[in-house]
Structure 1
């Protein structure tokens, strides 16, 4: 709904064309037919995408591994890792796990174990979810049952309408706002700021749902590097890192994990050789300049996004 947004859509369309990926450009009337809201004036629809529930996706993935004989230990976070000459020991609250080889796929938490210090950016993004919509509210909302809208401007709002699943109810989710928190913890103030922005974004897009409250609000952490490369490789003897997905966890997280397995088991592969061409993460500026500068930049970019936020 802004000139910046229109330019972003145009650039994305050129990128998809170069990749020979199908897409469809939509105008205001076509978006109205799909979503039944008047907010959006231009969009790009990709037919080969799917909207997934992240926790369900991960749960199904490891169930597939279990069916192949892999043992999965849930609710057992590793609190300490003791490196040995022949066997490594992973200390958990209720027991220990011993392993000859360890692949760490813990994203930004790799820093909690002492690796990649002063190299990782810990960004929190925030979301709000409405309570289950009542029948008359759902009717007033209209549109197709499930849809997801990504903002043309990266600092804009991601919106999802999700249909009832196993009694969860029909709901709307709003995601926007980002903060740098090198402590890896978000504050109450961060959550309050996000709630204020998300309530405003919700009201702009869904005036027909005036009075619908947000039932859940939360923040989630992602990990970036200054030069947008993964934190990857053998970091200790028989310990491999497949961390820091730079905001694309589903794709880059899986790829890093696959490459770590190739490195640990095969030693080399054609795809691994290509993957290893990336640089190592660059060292970050010192505090407090890092946090002050990064958060000021994020606020400025949010301001530039205008009504997209």
Structure 2
């Protein structure tokens, strides 16, 4: 991937080949078939958070989008997310992308009092915006998940489950012909030149200069490294582990079904999937990562937490080894908003997706390309209505101290849900 020779000039540069960047590059190429769209990423496609997430494409308001509970805002979020799902569904079918795309829906489940309270609040929100759901009791959840650990759950049918790395790579392989993808090519610096920009990149160790007209930055938590949104983004890592495939004997012992996903009603709880190939996926634990990387000690700590969470739910599977443990960086804002718009002249970006970036990133990339091309729409109005500017953060090291303290408090408060 990324084997095309770099052009000397391009009409557009999209920085970041995650879900936002891929959607933006595709839409720009469709809108301007006679123009060149340069898509850049410092890492191979699929290496970043777009390929490392839990594989949920969520249609409904989720996490911080639930704040306030205003029906008009919630309906806008639903329209944006369902448009993203429709776009991805079409592309997966058109290009035969092998990513285990599954219209399985999802469970939002609760263990203790805090989770049950959050679940009941979620049901009230769904009622207020006329979204379908089904309440499941302990036994109904156990029939699906193989564990009676949960008091209950809400099942909603519109969520998609998939393999994120395969999806992202499939989207990259199917880009229009006027997109030039250069992954493994970090942007070193940028400066204005007339009506456009001069980008300095490094390709295979060699510095290259490219003239571009406009920029869409799908760089999420890394945006401040390019000089934009400084002190407005909080980089936080979430962590996951996945088992090897369960043997026939272990799967019989497991006692549940294949191909389901569960998110915690309390945001501090554990996200779980049982994949189509019999792997259990566990995600919990958060950490502030000012340097965008987690230490080996942190990975050891979170792996232990994942092991405890697995054993609590399926003690008969406590010996199943994890095949991999990893972290992915997400961009948060202290005031819990998502940013979308022209953050500098002829520079457009979507940031601080607050951990729900598959649907948000996909539709943001498409709409950024349309905004940059002067195209208006109801969906663009929706996006602008649910977006805002992140507040400034305190300087380092105070922001890290504050965020770490808040994350520890949230982990303590949600300890029974983990």
TM-score (normalizing by structure 1): 0.90
Q: Aligned in 2, Cα 1:96/1:171: closer, same or farther, shift over 3 Å?
A: farther
Count of equivalent residues: 302
Residue 28 of structure 2 aligns with which residue?
none
2:168 to 58, 61, 67: 58
2:119 to 1, 4, 9: 9
- Quote the Cα distance in structure 1 between the aligned partners of 2:309 and 2:232: 33
Residue 230, structure 1, aligned to residue 343, structure 2? no
- Quote the Cα distance in structure 1 between the aligned partners of 2:218 and 2:232: 17
Residue 122, structure 1, aligned to residue 235, structure 2? yes
Q: Aligned in 2, Cα 1:209/1:24: closer, same or farther, shift over 3 Å?
A: same
- Quote the Cα distance in structure 1 between the aligned partners of 2:130 and 2:166: 30
Residue 179, structure 1, aligned to residue 179, structure 2? no
Residue 100, structure 1, aligned to residue 209, structure 2? no
1:76 to 184, 198, 213: 184
Partners of 1:26 and 1:42 within 8 A in 2: yes
Residue 411 of structure 2 aligns with which residue?
302
More moved, 149-158 vs 256-265: 256-265
Which runs of 5 or more structure 1 residues have no equivalent in the other structure?
165-169
The CA deviation at 1:306 is: 2.6
Which runs of 5 or more structure 2 residues have no equivalent in the other structure?
1-110
Residue 272, structure 1, aligned to residue 380, structure 2? yes
Residue 326 of structure 2 aligns with which residue?
218
Partners of 1:88 and 1:101 within 8 A in 2: yes
Where has structure 1 moved over 6 Å in runs of 4 or more?
none
Residue 155, structure 1, aligned to residue 268, structure 2? yes
The one-character-per-residue Cα deviations of 1:212-249 (angstroms, maximum 9, x if unpaired) are: 11110000110011222334333343222223212111
> What is the root-mean-square deviation of aligned Cα atoms in Å?
2.0
TM-score (normalizing by structure 2): 0.68
Residue 395 of structure 2 aligns with which residue?
286
Secondary structure of residue in 2 paired with 1:58: helix
- Quote the Cα distance in structure 2 between the aligned partners of 1:178 and 1:247: 11
Secondary structure of residue in 2 paired with 1:245: coil
